[in-house]
Amino acid sequence: MESLKETAKHSLVQKYKATSITLAVLCCLIAVLLLLLHESVVLIAALLVGAALLVIKLFLLPAKLAKQTYRRNEVMYQTQPQVVVDFFEDQVQVCNEASHAILHFSYDKIVRIKKTKNLYLFTLPERLIVMVHKQSFVTGQPEDFVPF
């Protein structure tokens, strides 16, 4: 579950994060302006509560997304799928051991690589994310992979 949270946290679209923070700051600025104009305390409180809820939602969303993914996996596979990722000279192969599905892609298809505390997250087109645990390398070391 922790890996799912980590993946969800780092896969949130940057635009969503920026929009949420911008709206929260805007609500706070309007609340301050209304306070200076001696406007309704109820309206000011509503704006501040709205700003707080936006920020809270931004921090709680990764856990919610992880829980949804966990539940979906339980329904589809009756377990959390174990994925084996093999790196070859010209391609990466991802094998889902629960469904026996195999995905092959060349390195040039990787749109972005994000390094988190415990994972490498490979983003492919259509926002497909492949997560690889740093400690799961069978041959070689994660440190050797980074320059790759």
Q: What is the pLDDT of residue 148?
A: 46
Averaged pLDDT of the chain: 77
Q: What are φ and ψ of residue 124, in 5° steps? A: -110, 170
**What sign for the dihedral angle of Cα 12, 13, 16, 22?**
positive
Summarised one tens digit per residue, pLDDT across range 45-89 is 888 998 998 888 887 777 777 777 777 767 776 777 677 888 888
What are the strands of the beta sheet with 102-106, ordered from one edge?
83-87, 91-96, 102-106
Dist CA 121 CA 51 (whole Å):
31
Summarised one tens digit per residue, pLDDT across range 8-55 is 555 555 677 788 888 888 988 888 888 888 888 888 888 899 899 888
Summarised one tens digit per residue, pLDDT across range 77-131 is 677 767 788 888 888 888 877 778 888 888 888 888 888 787 778 888 876 777 7
Strand stretches in 43-118, DSSP E? 83-87, 91-96, 102-106, 112-115
